[in-house]
Each structure stands twice: as C-alpha cells, then as structure tokens.
Amino acid sequence: MGKEDLYTHTPMMQQYLGIKAQHPDMLLFYRMGDFYELFFEDAEKAARLLNITLTTRGASAGSPIKMAGVPYHSAEQYLARLLKLGESVVIAEQVGDPATSKGPVDRQVARIVTPGTLTDSGLLDETRDTLILAIAPGMVNTAPGNETVGVAWLNLAAGRFQVTQVNTATLPALLARVRPAEVLAPDDFAFDGAPCAVRRLAPWQFDPGGAQTRLAQQFGSRDLAGFGVADLPLAIAAAGALLDYIQTTQRTALPHIQAIHAERDSDFVQLDAATRRNLELTETLRGEAAPTLLSVLDTTATGMGTRLLRHWLHHPLRDRTVLTRRRDAIGVLAEASDAAAAINRLLKSCADVERISGRIALKNARPRDLSGLRDTLALLPGLAAALPDDRARLADLQAALAARPDLHELLASAIQPEPASVLREGGVIADGYDADLDELRALTRDAGAFLLELETRERARSGIGTLKVEYNKVHGFYIEVSRAQSENVPDDYRRRQTLKNAERYITPELKAFEDKALSARDRALAREKALFDALLDTLTPHVQDLLAIAAALAETDVLASQAERAGTLRLNPPEYDEEPGIVVCGGRHPVVEAQVTHFIANDVSLTRSRQMLLITGPNMGGKSTYMRQVALITLLACCGLWVPASAAKIGDVDQIFTRIGASDDLAGGRSTFMVEMTETAHILHNASANSLVLLDEIGRGTSTFDGLALAWAVARHLVTATRAFTLFATHYFELTQLAQEFRQLVNVHLDAKEHGADLVFLHAVEEGPASQSYGIQVARLAGVPTPVIHAARRHLRELEDAQLQPGPQGDLFAAHLPNDEPPPHPALDQLRELDPDTLTPKAALDMLYALKAHL
C-alpha cells in the first residue's frame, strides 16, 4: 500500500497498516485495551481458524472495517491453536499512555511468535523439542536431480545449533529424524511435502559470505575455523539465514547460542522416514502417542528426560564408547535400585531448567521460572549424593550436578517463596531484598490501617454512623454515605459519584492519601520490574552453566528410568561385537509384549555366513512382529539402552531399512504397489553390507508371476550384491528354493498347527520353510462367510490338482534362466564409444548416416 493510499485511512488504521506492511505474511495481534484485535483479511482468517466472531465496525478509507478479537488474558490459548496450524503471529502492544496520548496510542511490535521459535511454557509441548530448520540449496560436485543442500537447525529454547550437508534424495530422511516445527527455504527452491510450516525467504538471505560474518559475530570469534564446519559451505549459508531469522523474530540478543556443531552421517545409524514410521518409535502408524516404543520405555520424571529419551531413540549411534558408557550406567543404577528410586523422587520436584535457561537468555522468563530454578538448584546436592559411585558416566554426571550455592542464594534472597505468576501483579521480589521496594510496599500495606482510622474519625466528625471509606479501581478512594444522610456531610466533602441510594465523596485528606498510596503501588510495580530485569541480567552469564546442569539432569533422568524399566520389563544389557552381525537369544517385541498376557520369545542369528532369513508362515503368525522386534532390539542397543532379550550381541550397523505394510499415496498419485516398489528401490540403492533390511511381502501388489519374479530378483540381489543382513518375509513358497542356491540364505518359518477345524498360531520361529500358508483358515477366523470359505477350499483343490499336471511353464528357479533382454544393437556400441566434442560438423553428419545404415 502506497503512502497516498495509507493517508486515506483513519490515524489508528494508518498505525495498524504500517505495522502490518512490515509483516505481510503473518497475523497481527493489535492490542486495544483488554483485547488483541485483528482487522481486514487477518480478521477473516482468524475468524475461520479460531471459530471466533467476525464483525464490522466503523469505516476507514470509505470501507467498513472487518475485525475479530481475542481477550488479552486468554491470548495464549489462541496463539497455541494458530501455531499448531502453522501460522505465525506478530504481537503489537500499547507502549503509550492513553491518558496523555493526543492521537492514537503508540504501539510497537513486542514479539513475533512462529511455530519453530517457541520458548513460552504455555505454548511448548514439554515432551518434545521445538526445532526450526533452514535449507540452503546448491550444487557441489553433484549430478542433476541429486543436488547437495546445506541444512541447519536450532533448538532456540536450549541454544543447540547444528548443521550438516546432505543430498536432496536423503533430505526427507533428515527431516523425519529432526522433525522441525518450521522450515526456512529460499523462495526459488522447489521443496514440497514438509510435515510442518514452511516460510520462504529471499535467496540473498542464504549468502555464504554474509553467513560467515554473522555467525562469527554471534559466537564472538574471528572466523568459524574452530567449529569444524569449514568443509560445509552450504550448511554455513543455511545457518546464517536461520540466525538472521531468529534475531529478527526474537528482537533481543541470543547469548545462549555460542557454538555451532557439525553433524556427520557416519555418527549415526541411519533410518529413513519409512523405517521410523514402520517401527513406531514415537508415534503409531495412526499418528497417536501410544502404544509406541517411547510410551513403553518412558517413565522419566521430567520433561527434559522425556525429550532426551525421544532424541536418543531417533538418533541411534555407532560410537561404541558412548553406547558402552550408557549401558553400563544403567547397569549400575539397576543394581542400586534404592538409589534409582531416590533419584526419581528428587527429579519429580525439578523444574525444566533447560527451557528456563533459554527464557533467561531471551529475557522472557517469568517469576515462577526463577522460583522453579531456585528450588531445583536446592536439590542438586541431594541428587549428586544419590548417584552411586561409578568411575564412568555416572561420575561425570555427579560432577555436572555440583551445587551452585551462589546462584541458589541469589534466587532465594531475591524471589518470594510463592511468587505471582506474572510480574505485573506484583508480589514477586522477596521482602528485604531491596530497601526502596520495602518502603513502597509499607505505604501500600499501611493503607488499610489508615482507612480504618479515617473512617472512625469521619463517623465521629459527621455524626453519620453508617459512613464507609472504600476503594475501587475505577473511582479510587471515596467516602460513601446513604442518600438520606447526604445532607449531614461536612462542608469539605466534595461529591465524586452519585448512586441510586448513596453518594460518594472525597476530602482533601483522602485525596492526598490516594495520590500517595496509588503512586506507591505504581512505583512498587515499576521497581519490581526493574529488579527482576536486573536479576535476569545477573543470571545471563551463567546460562551455559545452567544448560550443562539441565543436560546432566536429563541424562540422569533417562538412565534412572531405564534402570527401573530393566527390572520391570526384564531387559538385559546388549553386548557389542566388532564383527558385523546380529545375534539375539529370546528376543521380544517390547510394545506388543506390553499389550498381551503372554509373549513367545524367539532367537535370531544374522552373520556373514547366515546373511538372510527367508521367513514363511501364515498371516497373523507373527512374521511382521518378529522382524520388527529384531529391528527394535538392534536400535535399542545402538542407543546404549538395555534390550528385551535374554542376550544380544550386536555388531556394527550403519543403517536400518524397513519395507513393511501396505499403503498408497493418493495425493502423490502413487498406488500401493508403486509405493512398495519406490521404497524397495530406495533400499536396493542405499543399503550396504552392514545394513539391517526388513522386507515384508515384496511383490504382493501386482500379478502372481510379476510379484514372484520381483520378489525372487530382490532377494537374490540382496544376497549376492548388497549382502545386507536381511529378514525377508514372503508368501511365495517358491522362493524357499533359493536356499539351495545360496548357503548364506536360510529358511525359517512361524509355526502354526491345525487342531480340528481350528488353527493355532504358535508364534515360534523354526528352521526350515513353512508347509502351507493357511490363508483360508485365517479368512475363516476373520469371519468370512462359510459358503465363501467352502468355495475357496474347492477351488484351492482344483488349483493344486492342476499344478500337478505337466505343463509348458518352465522352472522360475532353473539354474540358467533364459535371457529375456534383446541382444545389444551394434549402433549402441558405436554411440557409447562416440565423443561428440571431438567431431567436426561433417564428421558428425557422416556418423549419423553410418548409424542409420544399421537400422
């Protein structure tokens, strides 16, 4: 909107539109008295999203003003709903005094709230990290269609800043692991399918040179040489754009962001998005929080502990030193069960120190944040003493939980034992902390005694026994008498308000007291705010120490909770092997086991000489559960956690892949079979000899022979080319013949027995192939009508009889399969040897004629 157009509006609308023009793609909450108002298109959008009333009031520039509003005291709940929908909100507060303003009250942007930059406890989910991520595209020695991109992500509440570079093919897997709440990307970058809000920025904001300068300035260093990111130029560009966005939205310094950390793929066991979904690590296939691996394992006492456990499950490691220290620490706590229980009790009284530290750094901490921090600091000596003696990880945690008497004494002296929830209510700073505040409070406290004494004197002076001295926020202090007695008031009474049955007066003495008392309250509130802000300034240099304490509290919480889980769920410590492979004795699926009364444990052995298990057996026999439990046991071991098994020996695993279940992608135009083949192709292209691969019913989405041929080819490729450790479940019994060709492929089956007309699933894994599929028996158990079952049995017998007759079909698994590919054309050989850059125009034309002669 141009200046000429702006001047056609009323002064207040000019102010509103001026702020809105600076943030055109965000909703603007514009403070007016006790409400935040939204106007024009913002009002229509908010009314639709929040289901609030849309009204029209007045006019500006000749048009009615559409408006909608929310009460300021309940604005947080409306903000939470908008942020959950991916919206960002600019909050403009009144900064002028309505009583002294000659025009519209001045308003300024107080804060900008976006889905990825939340720090307020009322808007955050205490069980999961809120992250914002930026993507900087570019081509660094990559083929078209698989460009390298720089990625940076930040946990603003904790100040953790991380970067990496990946190619676009693996970007979805990174997003599934990080799970950002908001993504920043250049507006010319083709990027679809993000599971969160996406904000587009100008491409120049991702300039690597400017990013280097901004980041070095933020970290107080000459350059970024000491941060290990010199070989990640695109990641630096992404980090610079992200930092600039955070500084713009937070409108304050970011002292808790002091470093940047490079993340390397080789640090972690890689899981793609499909694997995380299929294993139901932290949410079910339906998007629910339970039953999942996290819901079964999480008995942590703090939000910090839950967030860390969630992070561990999504970031399995390959560093055996870290894993061994975690595993052994759980063991020490499991043996000292009384200590673990005492730690849990103490942790339940701890505040969320990580997020409080972030709010201190951002200068938006609330009074109860500081009282919670004070009370948590008081618990540190007890927590450190409760940790059992251990020379490894627990000793490090004891040191990190060392008492901070300086900070505790400061907060104990400064903050009331039970402070008000918000600073504007007063009652936050402790008595005795500041002499000026104490004096102002004394004036306010003494008001009650003065008013009682004044009331007694005025009753005696006026002879009106029902006279009362009172106060309200609108009219201040006043003397009230009944209408009948109003003729008897002294001459110095001045009428302040007339009611139906009473008159209210003010006297010179009462007016003088009012000015002093009300001024004292306002000055006390202003003094408290100044003292509270100064306290935040004092605490800010200690934020890094507080974050270290928070990290130690979170890890102690996770380790103590896993010690409890070890006993309750009958978990055992995994053994780490230098040789690749996965060997599990008595393995169980922890989530399924928690839902049933009796679970059948099974073994698995995957080694270089036993590389693939071809799993057959009936539907509902437990094939998928068996495969998933192997993956979950492997993943838990790679998190340093104890596993649901009698024993487990886990070698080095670089990736876990799953192709389990049937689903389509209608929005993307992909059928169930296309999704299946896409996921299979991804596995075949990316799995290595150290990967764990789970494949369930490959080929079932197409015709019998197409599916059988594909399943056979995929299995054969995994055995001969990829050589990954593979669990391959199938109903194609013909595939069991592959065991005769490859010694490293072993047939196993899930056992089931027929008992009369009933089918009993034993859920036990046995060596060798299954004898039959039991599909018709399973259909009968599912309630398929009896006539259909009978018809199916008859047709099955006909098909089996027909299969016994000699026919023209060849053996799919013959040693020498016919080559269905046509012989190579001689023109193709010439084209492969051709170098177009060395040909003159005439030579190129001669070559074209020569190639045509081959047709």
Give the span between the Cα atoms of 110 and 87, in whole angstroms.
17
**Residue 491: its pLDDT value, please?**
94
Give the span between the Cα atoms of 630 and 403, in whole angstroms.
43
Confidence of residue 816 (pLDDT cuts 50, 70, 90): very low
Owning domain of residue 844: 824-854
Percent of the chain with pLDDT over 90: 66
Whose CA is closest to 615, among 734, 712, 736?
Answer: 736
Same domain, 396 and 352: yes
**Residue 143: its pLDDT value, please?**
52
CATH of the domain at 45: 3.40.1170.10
Of 81, 113, 145, which one is at a domain's C-terminal end?
113
Whose CA is closest to 777, among 621, 570, 585?
Answer: 621
Confidence of residue 517 (pLDDT cuts 50, 70, 90): confident
Q: What is the mean pLDDT of residues 63-78?
A: 90
CATH of the domain at 310: 1.10.1420.10
CATH of the domain at 228: 3.30.420.110
Residue linked to tokens 């004096």 = 439
**Residue 667: its pLDDT value, please?**
43
**Residue 393: its pLDDT value, please?**
87
DSSP-assigned beta bridge partners for residue 604:
584
Give the span between the Cα atoms of 512 and 534, in whole angstroms.
33
Q: What is the mean pLDDT of residues 766-794?
A: 79
**Residue 191: its pLDDT value, please?**
76
Within 8 A by CB and 6+ apart from 478, the residues are: 469, 470, 471, 496, 497, 504, 505, 506, 510
Write the single-letter amino acid at 841. Answer: P
Residue linked to tokens 């006539």 = 787
Give the span between the Cα atoms of 254 and 209, in whole angstroms.
21
159 in a structural domain: yes
**Residue 805: its pLDDT value, please?**
54
Q: What is the mean pLDDT of residues 295-306?
A: 98
Burial 396-425 (b: 16+ CB within 10 A, else e): ebbebbeebeebbebbbebbbeebeeebee
Give the span between the Cα atoms of 405 and 408, in whole angstroms.
5
290 in a structural domain: yes
Q: How far is CA 846 from the centre of its chain?
A: 63
Same domain, 177 and 250: yes
Residues at the binding site are: 617-624
Confidence of residue 818 (pLDDT cuts 50, 70, 90): very low
Same domain, 130 and 231: yes
Give the span between the Cα atoms of 428 and 528, in whole angstroms.
7
pLDDT tens-digit series, residues 638-686: 999 999 999 999 999 999 999 987 654 444 546 778 888 888 999 999 9
pLDDT surpassing 70 at residue 99: no
Same domain, 202 and 253: yes
Same domain, 592 and 711: yes
Query: Within 10 A of 830 (CB to CB), how many other CB atoms are there?
Result: 13
pLDDT tens-digit series, residues 156-213: 999 999 999 999 888 999 999 999 999 999 998 887 767 788 999 999 999 988 999 9
Per the CB < 8 A criterion, the answer to whether 558 and 352 are in contact is no
202-206, 268-272, 516-520, 829-833, range with the lowest pLDDT: 829-833
**Residue 771: its pLDDT value, please?**
67
Residues at the binding site for ATP are: 617-624
**Residue 102: its pLDDT value, please?**
67
Q: What is the mean pLDDT of residues 521-525?
A: 90
pLDDT tens-digit series, residues 45-67: 999 999 999 998 877 767 788 99
Give the span between the Cα atoms of 754 and 809, in whole angstroms.
32
**Residue 53: its pLDDT value, please?**
93
**Residue 755: its pLDDT value, please?**
60
Confidence of residue 763 (pLDDT cuts 50, 70, 90): confident
Of 240, 264, 288, which one is at a domain's C-terminal end?
264
**Residue 782: its pLDDT value, please?**
76
Mean pLDDT for the chain overall:
89
Here the tokens at position 540 are: 């800010």
Give the span between the Cα atoms of 715 and 698, in whole angstroms.
9
Same domain, 106 and 15: yes
Give the span between the Cα atoms of 7 and 28, in whole angstroms.
20
Q: Residue 463: left if φ>0, alpha if ψ -120 to 50, beta else—which one? A: left
Cis-peptide into 291, omega within 30 deg:
yes
Per the CB < 8 A criterion, the answer to whether 269 and 653 are in contact is yes
Q: What is the mean pLDDT of residues 453-468?
A: 95
**Residue 139: its pLDDT value, please?**
61
Whose CA is closest to 355, among 603, 509, 550, 208?
Answer: 550
806 in a structural domain: no
801 in a structural domain: no
819 in a structural domain: no
Same domain, 374 and 420: yes
Of 214, 231, 264, which one is at a domain's C-terminal end?
264
Within 8 A by CB and 6+ apart from 359, the residues are: 119, 120, 121, 157, 365, 366, 369
Write the single-letter amino acid at 136. Answer: A
316 in a structural domain: yes
pLDDT surpassing 50 at residue 317: yes
457 in a structural domain: no
Q: What is the pTM of this model?
A: 0.86
Same domain, 415 and 562: yes
Confidence of residue 475 (pLDDT cuts 50, 70, 90): confident
Q: Where are the beta strands (DSSP E) in 575-666?
A: 575-576, 582-587, 602-606, 612-616, 647-650, 655-659
662 in a structural domain: yes
pLDDT surpassing 90 at residue 633: yes
Same domain, 422 and 565: yes
Same domain, 710 and 649: yes
pLDDT tens-digit series, residues 557-605: 999 999 999 999 999 999 999 999 999 999 999 999 999 989 999 999 9
Look at the chain and report how many structural domains it folds into.
5
Same domain, 42 and 10: yes
Instruction: Give the 3-state secondary structure of 355-412.
Output: HHHHHHHCCCCCHHHHHHHHHHHHHHHHHHHHCCCCCCHHHHHHHHCCCCHHHHHHHH
DSSP per position, 518-549:
HHHHHHHHHHHHHHHHHHHHHHGGGHHHHHHH
Same domain, 695 and 762: yes
Whose CA is closest to 636, among 628, 661, 179?
Answer: 628
Per the CB < 8 A criterion, the answer to whether 750 and 773 are in contact is no
